[in-house]
Structure 1
Amino acid sequence: MSIYRPEFEAALRLFARISEAMAMRGLSRPVLVGGAAVEFYSASAMMTGDFDLCSPIQVELEEEMQRHGFVRPSGPGKLTRGWIHPNLKLGFEIVGSVPMDGNIAKDRLALVDYFAVGDAFVIVSVEDLIADRMGQYTSGTAADRLDQARALFALHPELDLDYLDRRIHEETMGDHGIEALQKR
């Protein structure tokens, strides 16, 4: 039995297949960031409406997405930055060429073979994801991100606390540190 909601797991499986196809072509795998990474690390306790991806080779990634059935919505009132798959209830969007504006080292990215079938994908570390949520919270544009950061912090007792504290300070321009996650 899966720990994820069915729609998310179906999208995650497709993302893993696309990621593996990119690797088979000798290309870098896209990196899962944003709300889908939050849903992954929270086992669907916090849900997303889309998959945000980072890739320095957007054209090739979009080609692979099209090979796997994705289409770009068109027409009045349609989201034109993202991609949809007719069988999924989640959109996919390439939001950057590198995760977190390049503020994280490649060795902090995790290669995950969740389905144990060889279709692995890359995801931002939970520490960097928490720091990103704190940065968004601090910007004043996303008040709910503090709750997300605190929930992820509580769900992952194995965190590298020194790294996390440093990354939170970086993402919040020094306004917050790890203590913000411990307050209630």
Structure 2
Amino acid sequence: MNNVLIKPEVTAMNVTREAESARQLLKMILLDGKENNAEVLDYGCGLGRNVRYLIENTKCIIDGCDTEEQVRNINQDLEKMAYFARKGTNITTSGKLGTTYDYILNSHVLNVVTDDIKKIIVADIYDLLKVGGKAVIQVRTANDVESAKTKIKHGDGWLIKKGKHTTYQEGITKEKMTALLEDVGFTIINHRFTKSIHMVEIIK
């Protein structure tokens, strides 16, 4: 199973409904009084559902980033990209952003990549966040992941078929998430961990 090609891009949700973590990030922005001038990044923006939600509910500068393949996927939606262009939104890979952010959203990304990639992503988020900046991270729970009928154990998670592709899904434990974030220097503000939700608010 070590040679299996894992495709995290196919886990992106093709829906308009925003994630709960996007709503939580918006609450954070509003409480901080930054709804008119903050720079916000959706790291692992998928097909852009949370980017659109944040654009429509703030006057902030909202950018998104994802893998090269996912950026190509979203660029194929000309109507969506025209909307983002009108709003001054930049959708690219993280290495091409060229700025740092007041807030970062990371919604259902860490649970679809293996541990080596998790560490890279968390370090990248740390580097992209301004000093004093805040982030909200949400992942799937073990209860959610393990409900899949067809799955094969792989490391701390599972290989799950989605159409012709194989995805990796992990219900990350509270202890593992805490270590992952604190190891790069984040301070945890709030850690919500139940059977149905795993969401962390952090500050640099």
Q: TM-score range by the shorter chain?
A: 0.3 to 0.5
Tell me the TM-score normalised to structure 1 length. Answer: 0.34
Tell me the TM-score normalised to structure 2 length. Answer: 0.32
* Structure with the larger helix share: 1
* Structure with the larger strand share: 2
